[in-house]
Chain A
Amino acid sequence: MAKPRVAFFDFTCCEGCQIEFTNYGDTAFLELLKHVDVVEFREAMSEKTVEPIDIAFVEGSFTREADRPRLEEVRRRAGIVIAYGQCATTAGINALKNHQTDYRECVYGRDAGMPHLDSAKALPISAAIKVDYMAFGCPVNKYEVLQIVSHLLHGKEPVIPNFPVCVECKRNETICRYDEDDHCMGQVARAGCGAPCPAAGIPCEACRGFVDRPNLPALKKVLTARAGFSEKRAGDKANMFTANQLEQAP
């Protein structure tokens, strides 16, 4: 069987998830190249292909109508589309501007009306095209990405965690941030990262988004009652990486 043809595409994002791909070291990276052919990857290579693509990793959010044809083109060319990183899966940090109306004036001042500065609501790429799998995280967990690729190569369905980060902290025997007089969103945040932040002494801010049915009233209650946040700050805290999911929550 021919090696699957893999490509990377980028939209509105920082391209940090693509950088994670260069951090495997020589052994894992060169081994991976024995199993897949990288055929297009603008940040790293000049080669382009007109042949069909088996797996497309799409990084970044859908933030302007002008990008829709390019996304549709990726979908048309690719057998499997993986939303790669939080900007692609939920619009991540980019969605922080979605509740604002003056962001253009704030950043560009008197030049805000220039037509090339157009930017609409930051949306996941699934708002424009069908997505087959999602690699969550800001940045992605590079080992989870390897696992997704490995599952697909073996014809298996990738397993994406749908339990909260608290589970991983218990497993790691990390002391709860609330017991350290801090706050945390691990109760409703999607696991799969291995919970490195609470272990390093900082709160989880749900950079992988929420689990599928987050108990958001309970989150707000914990942030106000246990961390002493004002109602407003508790609400704002919850939207750092998850503004679009908050909007969709019942």
Chain B
Amino acid sequence: MTVSARINVHHLTRVEGHGNIVVNVTDGKIEKCEWQVPEAPRFFEAMVRGRHYSEVARITSRICGICSIGHTLASVKATENALGIQVTPQTLQLRALLKHAENFDSHVLHVYFLAAPDLLGAPSVFPLVASHGEVVARALRLKRLAHEWGSLIGGRTTHPTTAVPGGFASVPKPKELAALKERMLAAVPDLSETLATVSSLAGRVPAFDRPTEYIALSSDQDYGLYDGKIQSVMPDGAKERFEVAAYEQVTNEFMVPQSTAKYAKHKLASYAVGALARFNNNFAMLHPEAKKAAQTLGLKPICSNPYMNTVAQVVEIFESFHASLAIIDQLLRDGVREEPLVIPARYASGAGAVEVPRGILFHEYAFDTDGMCLRGNCIIPTNQNHANIQADFDRLVPQLVAARTAEKDMELALEMLVRAYDPCISCSTHYLDVTFVR
């Protein structure tokens, strides 16, 4: 018996944005195997032209509803680099705390609401309210904690308000930070339960291995979510670092007909970004509690099973939680005070990068002498992953066909693969082809 399959998943569910999976197999012969991105393009880089530097981050934040904190931070960092602004140590700590809140928040959302239903054999989280009520309640409690944590620092979590070029428009009071710490400590049992739930399901994560290049921000100070240099780790473990300002030499974007988002490649035909890429690059810098979680989950660098990205997110939930407790303690020791915004020292161009939940994010802008934006460029993690997802399809589908997998199971395997990347598709459909004059 040979395998035939017609898979046509139009607008894949439980991912952010719109993507299609199309696979045609006739008598064991693969005729088509495509990951398609039909998301409506939105043209943000065109929209920021002519806007004042104080407005740019508030516009580009709207690229993504899930990573709007990350877009805001990448945008203010790029703007500050362009304007010669050096922010204060307090600002850096508050931004790191805000960045951790977003990664924790988004990872909780993905692990519990988007990925877990596949492992529990449910079509969504809603039927789990009846069958796994305590797990859903725990997910909602953790999600709420992340929302309060991000809102305290950033004003709100969807399109944050307080993080602006030059610093923070307002800062939390010490007693609010102390209350956040108490709230977080009260969530420790929920975190342990998260680890227990995920390790009990880890055996259901599909086995698949395709070595690729992993790219993430990397720093000698910490795990590198808010700041660092671009680092690549190859399948043989060889690492190389690049300056953020030279990001275009790493991303090398190109256009394909099946996608409104551009694709990217570096040393190989594709590369991956996201939690697994960060884990593979920066394992040594993880907090001891996060390392312990990785050990419990059986995750070791270099892991080249893309399905394990969700497991790496759980490790990062622990990283963000414990790293943030340390930041809060430091802020409480040093005292938090209102600081005036640092004003521009020049008007030129500059780039900035942060790690958002789905991987490394780049923004770059140029400003005129009135502080008005001349041009912008945003390179989004998911469009750095699109080519890698396609390469995984090209490897996985022949394996599934050879194993005589039924069409329904093949479809689920491909859906779960895309979901594991936690794609943020509406973000990924805008970037531009501008040569910056440096």
Cβ of B282 < 8 Å from any Cβ of A? no
Residue with the greatest number of chain B CB neighbours at <10 A, chosen from A11, A38, A45, A240 = A45
* Interface window among A14-22, A143-151, A161-169: A14-22
Q: With a CB–CB cut-off of 8 A, which chain A residues contact B248? A: none
Residue count of chain B within 8 Å CB distance of chain A: 66
A12 vs B14: C-alpha distance in the bound complex, in angstroms?
17
Q: Smallest distance from the beta carbon of A207 to chain B beta carbons, Å?
A: 8
Residue with the greatest number of chain A CB neighbours at <10 A, chosen from B40, B123, B138 = B40
Q: With a CB–CB cut-off of 8 A, which chain B residues contact A139? A: 65, 156, 158-159
Q: Smallest distance from the beta carbon of A24 to chain B beta carbons, Å?
A: 7
Residue count of chain A within 8 Å CB distance of chain B: 62
Cβ of A170 < 8 Å from any Cβ of B? no
A106 vs B46: C-alpha distance in the bound complex, in angstroms?
6
Name the one of A26, A196, A197, A207 contacting B141, with C-beta atoms under 8 angstroms: A26
Q: Smallest distance from the beta carbon of A97 to chain B beta carbons, Å?
A: 5
Residues 99-118 of A contacting B (Cβ, < 8 Å): 100, 102-104, 106-111, 114, 116-117
Would you call B255 and A114 a contact (CB within 8 A)?
yes
Would you call A200 and B45 a contact (CB within 8 A)?
no
Cβ of B220 < 8 Å from any Cβ of A? no
Name the one of B38, B59, B426 contacting A240, with C-beta atoms under 8 angstroms: B59
A240 vs B61: C-alpha distance in the bound complex, in angstroms?
13
Q: With a CB–CB cut-off of 8 A, which chain B residues contact A219? A: none
Cβ of B164 < 8 Å from any Cβ of A? yes
Q: Smallest distance from the beta carbon of B387 to chain A beta carbons, Å?
A: 16
A17 vs B138: C-alpha distance in the bound complex, in angstroms?
22
Given contacts A12-B40, A47-B124, is CB(A30)–CB(B46) below 8 Å? no
Name the one of B11, B159, B161, B433 contacting A110, with C-beta atoms under 8 angstroms: B433
Tell me the nearest residue of chain A to B431, going by C-beta: A107
Would you call A45 and B13 a contact (CB within 8 A)?
yes
Given contacts A42-B11, A45-B124, is CB(A16)–CB(B40) below 8 Å? no
Would you call A97 and B47 a contact (CB within 8 A)?
yes
Cβ of A2 < 8 Å from any Cβ of B? no
* Interface window among B48-56, B173-181, B273-281: B48-56
Cβ of A155 < 8 Å from any Cβ of B? no
Q: With a CB–CB cut-off of 8 A, which chain A residues contact B13? A: 42-43, 45-46
Name the one of B17, B40, B65 contacting A63, with C-beta atoms under 8 angstroms: B40
Would you call A14 and B63 a contact (CB within 8 A)?
yes
Q: With a CB–CB cut-off of 8 A, which chain B residues contact A108? A: 41, 255, 432-433
Cβ of A64 < 8 Å from any Cβ of B? yes
Given contacts A44-B14, A93-B47, A102-B46, is CB(A202)–CB(B161) below 8 Å? yes
Would you call A96 and B47 a contact (CB within 8 A)?
yes
Cβ of A33 < 8 Å from any Cβ of B? yes
Q: With a CB–CB cut-off of 8 A, which chain A residues contact B155? A: 196-197, 200
Residues 44-72 of A contacting B (Cβ, < 8 Å): 44-47, 63-64, 67
Residue with the greatest number of chain A CB neighbours at <10 A, chosen from B47, B114, B427 = B47
Name the one of B46, B170, B427 contacting A14, with C-beta atoms under 8 angstroms: B427
Cβ of A248 < 8 Å from any Cβ of B? no
Cβ of A178 < 8 Å from any Cβ of B? no
Name the one of B62, B109, B123, B170 contacting A19, with C-beta atoms under 8 angstroms: B109
Chain A residues proximal to chain B, CB less than 8 Å: 10-20, 22-26, 29-30, 33, 38, 41-47, 63-64, 67, 92-94, 96-97, 100, 102-104, 106-111, 114, 116-117, 119, 138-139, 196-197, 200-202, 205, 207, 233, 236-237, 240
Please, could you name 8 A-B residue pairs with CB atoms under 8 Å apart, sorted by A?
Answer: A14-B64, A15-B66, A43-B13, A43-B14, A45-B117, A106-B45, A117-B41, A200-B170
Chain B residues proximal to chain A, CB less than 8 Å: 11, 13-18, 38, 40-47, 49-52, 55, 58-59, 62-66, 68, 109, 113-114, 117, 123-126, 129, 136-138, 140-141, 143-144, 147, 155-159, 161-162, 164, 169-170, 255, 257, 260, 426-427, 430-434
Apart from A29-B140, A109-B434, 15 more pairs, CB < 8 Å = A17-B158, A19-B65, A25-B144, A30-B129, A42-B13, A44-B113, A46-B124, A47-B126, A102-B46, A107-B431, A109-B432, A114-B257, A197-B161, A202-B161, A205-B58
